[in-house]
Chains A and B, each alone.
Chain A
Amino acid sequence: MELLTLVTFSPLLGILVILFIRSEQKEVIRWVALITSILTLALSILVFLRFDPTNPDLQLMVNIPWIEVSDFQISYQLGVDGISIMLLMLTAILTPIAILSSWTAIQDEVKNYMLFFLLLEIGMVGVFLALDLFLFYIFWEFSLIPMYFLIGVWGGPRRIYAAIKFFLYTMAGSILMLLAILWLGLEGRHFSLPALLETSASIPQNIQLWLFLAFAIAFAIKVPMWPFHSWLPDAHVEAPTAGSVILAGVLLKMGAYGFVRFNLTLFPHAAVRLAPWMAVLAIIGIIYGAILSFAQRDMKKLVAYSSISHMGFVILGMFAINFYGVQGSILQMVNHGLSTGALFLLVGFVYERRHTRDMSQFGGLWKIMPIYGVLTLVVTLSSMALPGLNGFVGEFSILLGAFESKVLGSYWFGGVAALGVILAAVYLLTMFQKVFLGPVTHDENKSLKDLNVREIICLVPLLIFIFWIGVYPRPFFNLMAPAAEKLVTALQAAAMAVH
């Protein structure tokens, strides 16, 4: 059996096993889910080992005819390149962590919870590996459902509103993409991305523009870019911790990945022409998210808005359309997954103890929970792009890319976006101050227990990567560089043609 198929559907194994466990045996179910996700991680590592980082092309391809109707063909086509492997690894790493983090937080309907989680993993991995647009769309939409349930069943008080909002927004965007996918399939009677790439150049310019927009709206909502972001705070606030981790860590990346994988490759001309507009939206998102983060009292909401800001960097980077921007953008996807994922974990840990996320209910926690304080500090610093930690490498590359971008053509993009770095410090440090510094003002907080071993285990892998990418990101750049350079070269050729 093909390796990529195995990776994608390995969670099914766990699902099948869990289905036959009685729902009272929560502990067993948790272990099965955890082991399954670790198995997926192991398989992903195997993919990583088989992957040839010097090759810019798609590798380990699986291509099986799937639906064949008289005049056209849909194939089950998977593949991995330097860009998707990073996100594959991110997903594979974050899922076990998320499962582990919900060990005690989720006590109701553990069986269903774990089922949905493993289903979600299938969807996410599938999105990053699928090469046939039809297949991609299926995974894309499919990933919605488990997340919808995770928010709606195990979420906070307004979970239903948030879940529906999440579902409707994402679906509204993606269904336009479906039309664009259909359009693309008309000509060649297939939906295979590698084959479409060869013919897409012949699409008339104005149609390219429309197709680009149809894809872009789907991805922009998912990312989310301003002004399509308003589902995100609600979804994050109401989602259970693990859901938030996955949502921020992986699901948002699906949008950004979509931009890289489809918008930039299929419609290079449109991408080049619209790049300044996308960049403007991205920058508005950066500043806007940062300002709104600052106004929040709820920690999770703060982190949610910070996601909008951070994902703005990701989008800005890719539409800088140069090596620095695109590579930084891809790295930043991973970075954001690690840092924001970790932040959500941290918020979740304290929520589990105190059942509130209102920052005014805290203060002086550092004294009571020193380990928690230090870990949060590190993650916070990573999130605000302190040099030496992962966030800086990504954001610096992106800003450099935006600044030097010939396609954007103005220093203003990079310059204004860099202001986001200042604002990030403002809201993140404010949060840190309100929660961890100052005297302990609430008596309930005095008896809080510091992180336990399980919780620390959740964070350690993330912290390792936070430091690793911050200090020695070279392996990561090496992994994606050939693929990214191939992409950028094609785009720059398009830029030459457009200008």
Chain B
Amino acid sequence: MRPPRQEDSSFLGLLINIIFGRRLGERFVSLVACSAVGLAFLVAVLQFLALQGHPEGATVHIAEWITIADLSVPWALKIDTLSATMMLMVTGVSTLIHIYAVGYMHEDVRFQGDPGRYPRFFIYFNLFVAAMMILVSADNYLMMFVGWEGVGLCSYLLIGFWYEKGEDGIGNAIAGKKAFVTNRIGDFGFLVAMFLIFGAVGSLQFEDVFHWAETNGLANVGVITAITLFLLLGATGKSAQLPLYVWLPDAMAGPTPVSALIHAATMVTAGIYMIARSAPLYSVADTSSYVAALIGAVTAFYAATIAVGQFDIKKVLAYSTISQLGYMLAAVGIGAYVAGMFHLVTHAFFKALLFLSSGSVIQGIEHGHHDSEHGHAGGEPFDPQDMRNMGGLRTRMPITFWVYLIGALALSGIPPLAGFFSKDEILADASLENTIVYILLAAAAFLTAFYMGRQILMVFFGKQRSEAAKHARENRPVMTVPLMILAGLAFVGGGLNLPGIHSLTSWLEHTIAHIHVTEFNVMVSVVSVALALLAIGAAWLLYGRVTMAKGDRDPLRSILGPIFIGMENKWWVDELYSALILNPYKRLSRALVVGEGEENEGSEFWEHFVHEIVIGKGYRALAEFMDLTVDLGFIDAFFNSMAGVTAWIAQRLRKLQSGYVRNYALSVFVGVVLILGYFIITAR
């Protein structure tokens, strides 16, 4: 089998763009970038086909990398069913998003006022795909780590793509830094895990490690538990799980294609992929698996509650992503690797779809804003992502509406869309394996459907709540066509692993051992579908109906949340029976927002207070304290004071040198008496 390397093509595109990008203009840049990724997709397809004949896969050795004594880490690619699945997904989605980005970024760079930055975007984008390819095709942990940090770097660069924008002009840059640093904490776990692995196995090659785990695993449960827990720490960083999820909402500062590709479809799933890859280890370490499942489930639920309280269209999706990643983590935690991977793939489809559509919405609104601004002098700050500025876009942007709806339904788990199958498989597994996890996930499923319903209703239904919304218009086909393709995938993605056929299971079986096939569980499906429908209904009751009834709604309505509702008797009855359950949720989600009564999205208690103030400020204060007090005040001062004391003594000695001869004679005499005294003592 000829070694197929996707990296080649994306690297090639990267290089061409770095070198020529500036001179050759947008058309060329986008062409190179898209064709590079497209080529990578093609290679992935070829690989997929090749693997049909050799499902056991192959390893392509490229070069030695780090070789010290018995540590030998090569640059080598592992092509097997698991990595091929990821490659297909990544390159496929990437290609679509690249194409979408051609259109989106064309507009974006003009809105933001720096068209010259267009090539840079695709350079980063290509670099990202390359890094992601390294990550998924690595044949050892260290090389995986290369991709792991590489995608983190691209994420950093792309979040801060508009580095002069954001809060105080620096918000985006800070968001990027936050992402990188938070990821580094995870990476620390990954590093330590690698050290532990090497200490135990003497190799970082997957093959060796897994072989060791299978043969000696039971004797080394302790070590493996430690290894897997540290790996889990890495995964929580990369895949935005508790407690390290905080960077992801802020990461929405990047252009929307970035959110779609990196922060929804591909990079954030790396943690899940890594755990799935490490299945042989996790299947030995029950504790770690249990912890993983629990973290996943709690995150899924927790993030969903927050998503309910969001007004920023992308933030809702961001929390939703966290929540869905929680599903996947829970899945791999309970041993349902295939279900996890399955959800990973379908989620990539519909979440990418949702993000891209939201980008379409945002740009539509921006267009509208732009258009409506003509004739008006100046204008107050306008947030094109705030859902309260939207409403009724269904008619202004029909294509976007439909694809968005498909994505939302897929996410909510409405059959027969992709999300239904993948999510149901997880729930079915969870119901068998772990009740707590199941309950949390089911609750999360309900919330998911609720907030997606809320979003759809706020964005596309009701009245257009702003001038911009009134003037919003549909985007060009270069953006809508990828949306439609993704919508199609989100629709039929469930076919990958239909109950009873389990094509994905048997495909992945070649790579991941210990796969257990979970049969379709009618009971679980019914419950989850019912929950979803119930939630959508509730959303409709809350938002859909009221929006239509009330019409021109005060956008500040939600500032006061439940209090506002309490004051407005009009909905008191409506709220009573539906919001009996909702209010506590809303309160809960609101309680996590710093500054009651102030709508400051993205500044949740946990991430704002704990991370920005306690950790960030505290660390800064510590650093300054150490700098001024400890380093200058103590260490430096200690050494300086030795000089100071010496100089002080020197001044004393100077005083002794009084200029009086008789003093000098006395000094001589003192010497005489002392020396004679010493001699007398010696002589005795």
Binding site for B on A (CB under 8 A): 168-169, 227, 229-230, 288, 291-296, 322-324, 327-328, 363-364, 366-367, 381, 386-388, 392-393, 396-397, 399-400, 403-404, 411, 414-415, 418-419, 421-422, 425-426, 429-430, 433, 436-441, 471-474, 477-478, 481, 485
Contact = CB atoms under 8 A, between A and B. Distances in A.
Given A294-B619, A419-B188, A400 B635 contact: no
A400 B71 contact: yes
Contacts of A485: 69
Given A227-B635, A396-B142, A429-B177, A403 B66 contact: no
Contact of A399 (B114, B195, B622, B635): B195
Nearest to A227: B635
Interface in B47-79: 63-71, 75
Given A367-B164, A400-B195, A472-B64, 15 more contacts: A168-B643, A169-B639, A230-B639, A294-B623, A324-B68, A363-B170, A381-B153, A388-B146, A396-B142, A397-B66, A400-B198, A403-B198, A425-B180, A425-B181, A433-B160
22 contacts: A169-B639, A291-B619, A295-B626, A295-B627, A323-B71, A324-B69, A328-B68, A386-B150, A386-B153, A387-B146, A387-B150, A388-B146, A392-B149, A393-B66, A418-B195, A419-B188, A422-B185, A429-B177, A429-B181, A433-B163, A472-B63, A485-B69
Interface of B: 63-71, 75, 114, 142, 145-146, 148-150, 153, 156, 160, 163-164, 169-170, 172-174, 176-177, 180-181, 184-185, 187-188, 191-192, 194-196, 198-199, 619-620, 622-624, 626-628, 631, 635-636, 639, 643
A381 B152 CA distance: 12
A421 B177 contact: no
Given A399-B195, A433-B173, A387 B69 contact: no
B627 A292 contact: yes
Contacts of A403: 192, 195-196, 198-199
Contact of A422 (B184, B626, B628): B184
A426 B619 contact: yes
B173 A437 contact: yes
Contacts of A438: 163-164, 169-170, 173
Q: Closest 8 A-B residue pairs measured CB to CB?
A: A437-B173, A323-B69, A295-B623, A437-B163, A403-B195, A295-B627, A387-B146, A438-B170
B70 to A, nearest CB: 8
A201 to B, nearest CB: 24
Contacts of A425: 180-181, 184
A327 B619 contact: no
Nearest to B164: A439
Given A400-B71, A438-B163, A474-B65, A433 B623 contact: no
A288 B181 contact: no
Contacts of B153: 381, 386
**Residue from A288, A291, A404 whose CB has the most chain B CB atoms within 10 Å:** A291
Contacts of A291: 619, 622-623, 626
B181 A422 contact: yes
A425 B182 CA distance: 10
B65 A429 contact: no
A399 B164 CA distance: 36
Contacts of B69: 322-324, 327, 485
Nearest to A472: B63
Contacts of A399: 191, 195
A293 B558 CA distance: 44
A301 to B, nearest CB: 9
Candidate in A414, A422, A441 with the most chain B CB atoms within 10 angstroms: A422
B631 A386 contact: no
A282 B64 CA distance: 30
Nearest to A294: B623
Nearest to A441: B169
Contact of B67 (A294, A400, A433, A477): A477
A440 B181 CA distance: 24
Contacts of A328: 68
Contacts of B626: 288, 291-292, 295
A439 B169 contact: yes
Contacts of B198: 400, 403-404
Contacts of B160: 433, 437
B149 A323 contact: no
Contacts of B142: 387, 396
A363 to B, nearest CB: 8
B203 to A, nearest CB: 12
B174 A433 contact: yes
Nearest to B202: A404
Given A295-B623, A403-B195, A422-B184, A477 B66 contact: yes
Nearest to B148: A387
A72 to B, nearest CB: 34
A474 B176 CA distance: 33
Contacts of A474: 63-67
A364 B164 contact: yes
B631 A414 contact: no
B636 A472 contact: no
Contacts of A418: 188, 191-192, 195
B191 A292 contact: no
B15 to A, nearest CB: 13
Contacts of B194: 400
A292 B149 CA distance: 25
A429 B619 contact: no
Contacts of B173: 433, 437-438
Contacts of B163: 364, 366, 433, 436-438
